Amino acid sequence: MSHKILIVEDNTNNCTLLLDILTFHGYEVLVARDGQEGVVLARKQMPDLILMDIQMPGMDGMTAGRILKNDPTNSKLKIIALTSFAMQGDQEKFLAAGFDGYLSKPINTREIPGLIEQWLNEEKLP
């Protein structure tokens, strides 16, 4: 059985790139175009991993991630923050906010398959 990954990303090019890479590597991929749609899809589909863009119109990724992590039904979902505004201290900020990992854009297409496997295989802390 393949892992189910939800991409929450408003940029069409970034979304297509991730979709192509993940599909090529055998993952079942779901796509949401904003935080609100991401929350709804995550609750309905319970993916194994969520790649959550941080800066989106409407509901941003920080808000969507917080909503999912604060709900006991969804709190165990693995959510990775995606951002193009990589600043020193961002990784710590996202981890402190409940995200399970951090990935800066532009995405390194050679690294992403290994990172996905690493995140999927990490044990979730209670």
Tens of pLDDT along 47-82? Answer: 999 999 999 989 999 999 999 999 999 889 999 999
Structure tokens at 16: 């297509």
- Distance CA(33)–CA(1), nearest Å, equals 26
Give the model's confidence band at 95: pLDDT under 50 very low, under 70 low, under 90 confident, else very high: confident
Query: Order of strands across the sheet with 79-83?
Result: 28-32, 4-8, 49-53, 79-83, 101-104
- Distance CA(73)–CA(28), nearest Å, equals 22
Domain ranges of the chain: 4-121
**pTM score, whole prediction:** 0.92
Task: Give the domain 4-121 fold.
Answer: Rossmann fold (3.40.50)
